[in-house]
Amino acid sequence: MRVVVAMSGGVDSSAAAALLKEQGHEVIGITLRVWSYEGNAKCGSCCSPDDIDDARAVAQTLGIPFYVANAEEIFQDRVVNPFVQSYLGGKTPIPCVACNRDVKFNFLLKRARALGARLATGHYAQVEEVDGRFHLRRAADAAKDQSYFLFTLGQEELRDVLFPVGHLTKAEVRAVAERHQLPTTHKPESMEICFVPDGDYAGFVEKVAGPQPSGEVVDPEGNVLGTHNGIHRFTVGQRKGLNLGGGEVRYVQRLEPETNRVVVGPAEGTGRAQFGLLQPHWVDAPPPPDQAVEVRIRHRHAGAPGRVHISPHGLVSVQLDAPARAVTPGQAAVVYDRDRVLGGGWIV
Ligand SMILES: Nc1ncnc2c1ncn2[C@@H]1O[C@H](COP(=O)(O)OP(=O)(O)OP(=O)(O)O)[C@@H](O)[C@H]1O
């Protein structure tokens, strides 16, 4: 079969291309140029000029055709702008989900289909066909699992999507790259959001949206405890950077964009057992109300038992068995049945 491999210049998608080639498929490498990097910014996963060169070198080693597609406009529109707006609105965004949904598994998938091909990525996740329906599953390597970032995929996408490294450990992936002598074999992991390689999200927001107004830091009763220099600098559960001097340890409980206030208090106040899900999406069908599920409220969350409730008007909420710490608006809540992703939505 013909397969387009989304090549980031990292080792995972390099190995994905190598595996598909080994299996005898007709492999085409495509790198998306999503962002113009200033100066010598190093970026591990979303394609600085260095990464594009790495992807090209891998394609050359494997002897597969290679193309660079310009996706800067859609990336700006669907990923970067909403990221900034989300921070300004007192939320903590997770742009990789939007990038997967709108850029990789929409923009790029359409191009792959136009070439009569399926689309493969180096994501650590698994797709399984069961009775004609497609299940999205966690990766075999729990430490690398990226299924959380893929909950917006549906049947329409999954039938044409391959995750060739999803059943492997990272060590096995590097061994595949080594076997093919790929130039990316020893490339380090990227940890940060790709368009903010230095991890300074607040600085990025200010660069795009300008300086942000200062406001009050208050306790849950509304008593003013101090001032802050922009709510985009805070997230629920945050303890550091509150500048409140000594005294009891306080955590951000919530952000109030309407009043530009940061509400702080004891850790218990960051916990919630019940929350709404915005733009809910189901990989196949939503879980019935009596089904016990596991809900991950952020990427590095182990998951908490709970249930999904859907009102007669279609409003979706999650009820956890016990309150979870730092339930953060803007992050995704992803619903699992054991290792199967059922779907999810944005925490409100
Ligand atoms: N700029 C890009 N162009 C094409 N595909 C990309 C690009 N960025 C990421 N991808 C695809 O999305 C997958 C997951 O991206 P992520 O940023 O999580 O990279 P990763 O886990 O570090 O993988 P890799 O080692 O391949 O970079 C990549 O394996 C690759 O298939």
The pLDDT value recorded for residue 189 is 83
Cα of 165 to ligand 1 centre, how many Å? 12
Which 8-state DSSP code applies to residue 269? G
Using CB atoms within 10 Å of the CB of residue 314, give its burial: 0 to 12 exposed, 13 to 18 middle, 19+ buried. exposed
ipTM beyond cut 0.85 = yes
Q: Return the active site residues.
A: 99, 194
Q: Mind listing the pLDDT tens digit of every residue in the chain (348 residues)?
A: 999 999 999 999 999 999 999 999 999 999 999 987 654 444 444 557 788 999 999 999 999 999 999 999 999 999 999 999 999 999 999 999 999 999 999 999 999 999 999 999 999 999 999 999 999 999 999 999 999 999 999 999 999 999 999 999 999 999 999 999 999 999 988 778 889 988 999 999 999 999 999 999 999 999 999 999 999 999 999 999 888 887 889 999 999 999 999 999 998 888 899 999 999 999 999 999 889 999 999 999 999 999 999 999 989 999 999 999 999 999 999 999 999 999 999 999
Name the residue of 4, 5, 7, 8 whose CB sits within 8 Å of the most ligand 1 atoms, as the mutation to test its pocket. Answer: 8
Name the residue of 3, 4, 5, 13 whose CB sits within 8 Å of the most ligand 1 atoms, as the mutation to test its pocket. Answer: 13
Q: Whose CA is nearest to atom 12 of ligand 1?
A: 121
What are 234's two structure tokens?
């805070």
The domain 212-268 is classified under which CATH number: 2.60.40, 2.60.120, 2.30.30, 3.40.50? Answer: 2.30.30
What are 348's two structure tokens?
């409100």
Residue 88 to residue 206: CA distance in whole angstroms: 10
Name the residue of 12, 36, 174 whose CB sits within 8 Å of the most ligand 1 atoms, as the mutation to test its pocket. Answer: 12
Answer yes or no: CATH 3.40.50.620 is held by domain 2-179: yes
**Which residues have C-beta within 8 Å of that of residue 87, sequence separation ≥ 6?**
93, 201, 202, 205, 232
Of 112, 103, 166, which is closest to residue 4 (Cα–Cα)? 112
C-alpha dist (Å) from residue 31 to 17, 68, 96, 189, 279: 12, 5, 16, 18, 29
Q: Binding site annotation covers 11? A: yes
Cα of 84 to ligand 1 centre, how many Å? 22
Query: What residue has token string 């990427």?
Result: 299
Q: Whose CA is nearest to atom 9 of ligand 1?
A: 8
Rg (CA), the chain: 21
Q: Binding site annotation covers 222? A: no
Residue 55 to residue 184: CA distance in whole angstroms: 8
Contact 128, 150 (CB under 8 A): no
What would be the CATH architecture of the domain defined by 271-347? Beta Barrel (2.40)
In degrees and rounded to multiples of 5, residue 226 shows phi and psi of 175, -165
Number of H helices, E strands in the chain: 9, 17
The pLDDT value recorded for residue 251 is 95
In degrees and rounded to multiples of 5, residue 336 shows phi and psi of -120, 145
Q: Binding site annotation covers 6? A: yes
What are 85's two structure tokens?
């707006």
Q: Whose CA is nearest to atom 6 of ligand 1?
A: 8
Residue 88 to residue 230: CA distance in whole angstroms: 8
**Which residues have C-beta within 8 Å of that of residue 115, sequence separation ≥ 6?**
2, 4, 28
The pLDDT value recorded for residue 38 is 59
Domain boundaries, the chain: 2-179, 212-268, 271-347
Give the residues surrounding ligand 1 with Cβ less than 6 Å away: 6-8, 10-13, 31-32, 34, 45-47, 104, 121-123, 190
